[in-house]
A and B are shown apart, each in its own frame.
Chain A
Amino acid sequence: MERSSSRLKVFAILVAIMFAALSTRLWFLQVLATEVYAQEAQNNSVRTAKTDALRGEIWTSDQYAKEEAGSSSATPLVTNRKSLEVRVNKQELIESGRAERVLLRLSEMLDIPVEEINDKLADKQYFDYQPKPIAEFVDEEVRFYIEEHADQFPGVDVVDASVRAYPMGTTAAHTLGWVGQIDADQVEEDAYRNYGNSDLVGKTGVELTYEKWLRGRKGVQRYVVNSDGETIRNLGEVDPTPGDNLVLTLDSNVQKSAEVALQEGMERARTIFDDDPDFNKYFEANAGAVVVLDAKTGGVVAMASNPSYDPRWFVRGLKPQEYRYLFKSPRAPALDRAFQQDYIPGSTFKPFTALAAVKEGVADLGSYYGCPAEYVHPGDASETTFHNWSTVDLAARPLNELLKISCDTSFYAWGSEFYNRYVQNQFGENNEPLQRDLRQWGFQHPTGLDLPGEVEGLIPDAAWGNAPEQKGTEQEPGILPFGWVPGGDILLMIGSGYATVTPLQLAQAYATLANEGKICQPHVVDRIVDDTGETVKKVSGHCGERTVPYTQDQLDYILDALTNVPKLGGTAYSAFQGFPLEQYPIAGKTGTAFRGYPFQDTSWFAGVVPANDPQYVVVAMVEQAGFGSDVAAPIVRKVIEGIYGIESGAPAVVTAGQD
């Protein structure tokens, strides 16, 4: 018994230790670490569901003004529409092991060939665990059927989606851009960290640049679930915040007339015969652009690019032929030629090179300069001949006249002067003032337009000319095997050779000319308003923050010279016959840019109207369309007529052949 009692004591001690261990652990769990567990308990049972926000609309200024005034006919460029979408989670479908049968069933029900469904599912843009849309705008019956027979459709969901609608059809397609499901790699990025796998994002155009505003904020609904996922209680919800709306600087009427004018102008160009012995065929006129800027603010009033496309194609998912046309065709319709492609400017460059020559003391506003048919750089052993457009020598005249008739050879001479100055100061600083002055107008710089994909063009200089890419090697000579030669500066003076600009850059430069030397930054969005109509952001052109260093007299001189271009004796006379120039004086410049075989010349025209108190700058460019006066100038006339509501008195096809 004694032994028992001592053993019992041992037993009792063991039991006591057990209790101590348990109590200690409880203390840890319930006192020391309790917040951690409380949080986990919370996470366990609370679920969060997000509801999509309505994407912001996009309006033109004039239509939005109508909307604010309460007009019922106000039409936005982009709005939203409800669509019932069938989405398939490919991973789930495959895991179910019944993929083939399900796809067959879907194909029958939706009347879409199985291959098409498979194509959409195979789209590598999205991960296999992202639900991929395979059909849009399906009937409610489809939703009922699929939901009722959910077990027959593993991985298939029918979702209320909001898709873009385009009440104005193809108008301003490039500027608007399109939306699509977020890419697999985008979702990983920090900028998109609040995005779900199947969220829509803007892919290009203002839909992309202003994605953050258009998107709004998703709503959140929190509720308590049990371990089966059944909802027990609603914890409250936050409504989604609709995206902000964009009011563009575009005017819907000017935009439409610009697109029509461009299209008709290009069709007309194809009826003009190119009798250059190298070509001997009609002009291709394969692409073109029109830019209309507000001269005082830099706002884009209209911007057209041809060929174009229908943004509605994206809403239902691109058909294979649409996809091929957009992204695989050499016509490249998705490219916005107003600013995503650069072109040799031709004579439209002359106002700026002339101003540079004046500023640098190479030329002056009063002297008379000769305009021979041919020109050779002084001291050039090779005697390379540069030609004027005229085969006869023309009388000497002052700068403004030279601009009016667009004499080339006078400009060549100034180019030689610039080149010589460079040679004399090869290792000095600022030894290429021509290039520097040109760049001050914004050339070879992106304008800062609020659309993606802008290119900056090129102002060739000695550094560029002497670079290995241009010189090439002995075995494979580049475009400038001897590096920078006088021809570089000579041709630069007439906007030929290797200089390239975008139609937008050119428009900006002419606007600066018209706006007393104050540079404005072009922008397509005027302001952003929230769904109550409050303006939340105003976009400014920052006009005047940068200027070009010319006196008002110099600028006036040039502008004045240009008002003669559309008049008798000027190179654009034929295109503006019958146009009321007294009421609406236009200061303009034609351009015919030589590209060299196999490309026909690029037709350009830039106009400022009204010249005495400039409001608009209109630039038209058509690839492979020949003379500026023949194709581009009439397009600009039509656009200006559209702006002011002038009855068109344009003559029929004119081939005055004026550069």
Chain B
Amino acid sequence: MADLVAGRVFAQERRPIRHVDLTLLVVTAALVVIGLFAIYSATSQTLRQDGLDPLSRVNKQVATAVLGFIVLLVMMTFDYRFLKVYAGFIYGITLFLLLVLQIPGVSGGEGATSNYIDIPGVSLLQISPSEFAKVGLIIILSAMLSELRTPVPMLSDVVRVLMVAGLTMGLVFLNVEIGTTIVLMAITVGILVVAGTRAKHLIALAAGAIILIVLAFQLGAIKDYQVARLTAFFDSGNAAEDARYNLEQSEIAVGSGGMFGRGYLHGTQTNLDYVPEQHTDFIFTVIGEEFGFFGSVFVLGLFAALLWRAIRIAYLSKDSFGTYLATGVASMFAIQMFVNVGMVIGIMPITGIPLPFLSYGGTAMLVNFVAVGILLNVHMRRFK
């Protein structure tokens, strides 16, 4: 608080571009680099055996990271309040992209956890609209809640927020992406909480969510394999082979890492391709197996640092829009990290949520860079 006052005094002398949150940048870069090493470990041996270039995945990830950094820089160039102005438009585009996915024939995809739009002719670029929906939702909700007449959101406000969020979640859910739906839910809740929503509204929201989930199960809206993954988690004795296998293999890999890990490139489970999806959703198993407890906690620590900076930025933001933006981003990172790592180490059911900056992937990585860009943006402009 005192810091804030002092900051204002020197505001004029500080040009935005000098106020980059270096810690945040360094942490992000560290996560990306660790991710590159992890992906190499997870993919090189198998690729080599199949006669392919062992660096192919790493290279692709590097390309994405470079592109991401560029996007990040772009995100810092304009004042974030422009986002507020164009919030509706941005939101509309995300909805549009989500709807396009519903057109038969447009969506191609690998794995059940992501749905891509293949841009014809540009094979390297597979856009995943639901990833954009995360940022889109953060922007629109932050915009909505920062324009309130009352200091605290009224019921009508909450309902409006829920409708917007619900629409997005519904579309995402139609694409059978439970993971992303969860992230969207977390974003919504995070922003609502920080926006000061009354406790009773929050409780009502929680109750409503539970009812919805139960309904979803009852109506069979949730696909078999997803049910299988959940039951594999909750009832290990009686579960589908695949789901059980995923869980077991990643636990074995992580557990066998011990205190200090088996050493880089010495993880037998991941090197021998025993962990399914080991370069995407299950990338943390590489960390666990090869770098052990110390390595795992270190990476968690990096995420903790990332979230600390984000929360700090939310606090330091000069307006509520910025706060909510930062909160939304923090929620997004927090839930993704928690669910992903939790899934890998066996305390959460398997959902298709990648680990930010480490998991191999295109759109998700880009979106994460956008999110960090937003954070940096809010941080840089906190004085004006």
A367 within 8 A of B: no
Q: Which residues of B contact A40 (CB under 8 A)?
A: 248, 252, 255-256
**A41 in contact with B268 (CB, 8 Å):** yes
B172 within 8 A of A: no
**Contact partner, A227, options B274, B288, B297, B327, Cβ 8 Å:** B274
**Contact partner, B311, options A3, A12, A36, A45, Cβ 8 Å:** A12
**A224 in contact with B268 (CB, 8 Å):** yes
Residue of B nearest to A10 (CB): B193
**B257 in contact with A34 (CB, 8 Å):** yes
**A22 in contact with B345 (CB, 8 Å):** yes
**A37 in contact with B193 (CB, 8 Å):** no
Q: Mark A1-18, 1 if CB is under 8 A from B, else 0.
A: 101110110111011001
Residue of B nearest to A226 (CB): B272
B376 within 8 A of A: no
A114 within 8 A of B: no
**B347 in contact with A33 (CB, 8 Å):** no
Q: A11 with B272: in contact, given A3-B196, A19-B300, A29-B251 (CB under 8 Å)?
A: no
**B338 in contact with A8 (CB, 8 Å):** no
**Contact partner, B256, options A1, A5, A34, A228, Cβ 8 Å:** A34
Output the least CB separation between B329 and chain A (Å).
Answer: 12
**B345 in contact with A41 (CB, 8 Å):** no
A112 within 8 A of B: no
Q: Which residues of A contact B166 (CB under 8 A)?
A: none
Residue of B nearest to A46 (CB): B268
Q: Which residues of A contact B53 (CB under 8 A)?
A: none
**A228 in contact with B273 (CB, 8 Å):** yes
Residue of B nearest to A26 (CB): B296
Output the least CB separation between B318 and chain A (Å).
Answer: 10
Q: Which residues of B contact A45 (CB under 8 A)?
A: 268-269, 272, 274
**B342 in contact with A30 (CB, 8 Å):** no
A331 within 8 A of B: no
**Contact partner, A30, options B254, B330, B334, B338, Cβ 8 Å:** B254
A21 within 8 A of B: yes
Q: How far is the CA of A5 from the CA of B253 in the complex (A)?
A: 41
B315 within 8 A of A: yes
Q: Which residues of A contact B288 (CB under 8 A)?
A: 26, 29-30
Q: Which residues of A contact B304 (CB under 8 A)?
A: 15, 19
Q: A11 with B296: in contact, given A22-B345, A41-B269 (CB under 8 Å)?
A: no
Q: A30 with B292: in contact, given A8-B194, A11-B194, A38-B256 (CB under 8 Å)?
A: yes
B323 within 8 A of A: yes
Q: Which residues of A contact B253 (CB under 8 A)?
A: 37, 41
Q: Which residues of B contact A420 (CB under 8 A)?
A: none
**B255 in contact with A1 (CB, 8 Å):** no
Residue of A nearest to B324 (CB): A4
Q: How far is the CA of A12 from the CA of B308 in the complex (A)?
A: 8
B346 within 8 A of A: yes
Output the least CB separation between A532 and chain B (Å).
Answer: 39
B263 within 8 A of A: no
Q: A25 with B346: in contact, given A18-B334, A34-B255, A37-B256 (CB under 8 Å)?
A: yes
**A3 in contact with B151 (CB, 8 Å):** yes
Residue of A nearest to B327 (CB): A11
**A31 in contact with B151 (CB, 8 Å):** no
A44 within 8 A of B: yes
Output the least CB separation between A22 and chain B (Å).
Answer: 5
Q: Which chain B residues (172-206) contact chain A, with CB distance < 8 Å?
A: 190, 193-196
Q: Which residues of B contact A323 (CB under 8 A)?
A: none
Q: Which residues of B contact A21 (CB under 8 A)?
A: 338, 342, 347
Q: Which residues of A contact B300 (CB under 8 A)?
A: 19, 22-23, 26
A27 within 8 A of B: yes
Number of interface residues of A (CB under 8 A): 38
**B269 in contact with A30 (CB, 8 Å):** no
B37 within 8 A of A: no
Q: How far is the CA of A228 from the CA of B276 in the complex (A)?
A: 12
Output the least CB separation between A11 and chain B (Å).
Answer: 6
Residue of B nearest to A18 (CB): B338
Q: Which chain B residues (211-261) contact chain A, with CB distance < 8 Å?
A: 248-249, 251-259
A230 within 8 A of B: yes
**A22 in contact with B272 (CB, 8 Å):** no
A225 within 8 A of B: yes
**B255 in contact with A11 (CB, 8 Å):** no
**Contact partner, B338, options A22, A29, A33, Cβ 8 Å:** A22
Q: Which residues of A contact B331 (CB under 8 A)?
A: 11
Output the least CB separation between A301 and chain B (Å).
Answer: 61
Q: Which residues of A contact B292 (CB under 8 A)?
A: 30
A109 within 8 A of B: no
Residue of B nearest to A41 (CB): B256
**B255 in contact with A36 (CB, 8 Å):** yes
Residue of A nearest to B46 (CB): A226
**A226 in contact with B193 (CB, 8 Å):** no
Q: Which residues of A contact B311 (CB under 8 A)?
A: 8, 11-12, 15
Q: Which chain A residues (228-250) contact chain B, with CB distance < 8 Å?
A: 228, 230, 232
Q: Which residues of A contact B334 (CB under 8 A)?
A: 14-15, 18
Output the least CB separation between B146 and chain A (Å).
Answer: 11
Q: How far is the CA of A483 from the CA of B337 in the complex (A)?
A: 93
Q: How far is the CA of A18 from the CA of B311 in the complex (A)?
A: 15
Q: Which residues of A contact B307 (CB under 8 A)?
A: 15
**B257 in contact with A44 (CB, 8 Å):** no
**Contact partner, B293, options A4, A12, A31, A224, Cβ 8 Å:** A31
B12 within 8 A of A: no
Output the least CB separation between A446 and chain B (Å).
Answer: 52
Output the least CB separation between A56 and chain B (Å).
Answer: 40
Output the least CB separation between B336 and chain A (Å).
Answer: 11
Q: How far is the CA of A15 from the CA of B304 in the complex (A)?
A: 8
Residue of A nearest to B278 (CB): A227
Q: How far is the CA of A23 from the CA of B300 in the complex (A)?
A: 8
**B315 in contact with A8 (CB, 8 Å):** yes
Some 26 contacts from A to B, beta carbons below 8 A apart, are A4-B320, A7-B196, A8-B327, A10-B193, A11-B194, A11-B330, A15-B307, A15-B334, A18-B337, A22-B300, A22-B342, A25-B345, A26-B288, A26-B297, A29-B288, A29-B346, A30-B288, A31-B258, A31-B259, A34-B258, A36-B255, A40-B248, A41-B289, A44-B249, A226-B46, A228-B273
- Seed contacts A11-B190, A226-B272; 13 additional CB < 8 Å A-B pairs: A1-B320, A4-B315, A4-B323, A11-B330, A15-B330, A18-B337, A21-B338, A26-B254, A29-B345, A34-B256, A38-B255, A44-B249, A227-B273
